[in-house]
């Protein structure tokens, strides 16, 4: 039996105050988000963040969010959420400087 490992779907250091598109579920695959990691890279000051899935009908659904994440702190959310074809995952944070990592599984649709 073959091993199934998570893949990195997105990883970046970003500036806050705007929405950032992290992932669009491409057709032909089953996409399952497993880990969401947010790091407040600011030297001082707490930050908030919000991961949002946008459906094909343009409905925004919060997958994970956090309030008052301290400076230089990482938050890990362990989720099991499927993204359907053409759905997107985005993030917003008020941190001036933050990083994000998204991992999961990508299976060939059968």
pLDDT-derived band of residue 29, with 50, 70 and 90 as boundaries? very high
pLDDT-derived band of residue 99, with 50, 70 and 90 as boundaries? very high
pLDDT digits 0-9 by tens, 52-67: 999 988 889 999 999 8
Phi and psi angles of residue 57, each rounded to the nearest 5 degrees, phi first: -95, 15
| pTM over the 0.85 mark | yes
Query: What does 47-91 look like in DSSP terms, one character per residue?
Result: EEEEEEEE-TT--EEEEEEEEEEPTTEEEEEEEEEEE-TT-EEEE
At residue 109, the pLDDT reads 82
At residue 67, the pLDDT reads 87
Which fold, 7-108? Answer: Jelly Rolls (2.60.120)
Phi and psi angles of residue 31, each rounded to the nearest 5 degrees, phi first: -105, 125
Domain segments of the chain as ranges? 7-108
At residue 6, the pLDDT reads 86
């Amino acid at each position: 039996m073959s091993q199934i490992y998570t893949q990195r779907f997105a990883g970046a250091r970003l500036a806050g105050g705007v929405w950032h598109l992290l992932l669009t579920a491409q057709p032909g695959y089953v996409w399952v988000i497993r880990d969401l990691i947010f790091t407040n890279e600011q030297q001082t000051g707490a930050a908030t963040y919000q991961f949002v899935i946008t459906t094909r009908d343009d409905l925004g659904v919060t997958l994970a969010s956090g309030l008052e994440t301290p400076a230089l702190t990482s938050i890990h959310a362990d989720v099991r959420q499927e993204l359907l074809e053409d759905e997107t995952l985005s993030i917003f944070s008020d941190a001036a400087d933050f990083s994000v990592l998204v991992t999961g599984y990508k299976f060939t649709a059968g």
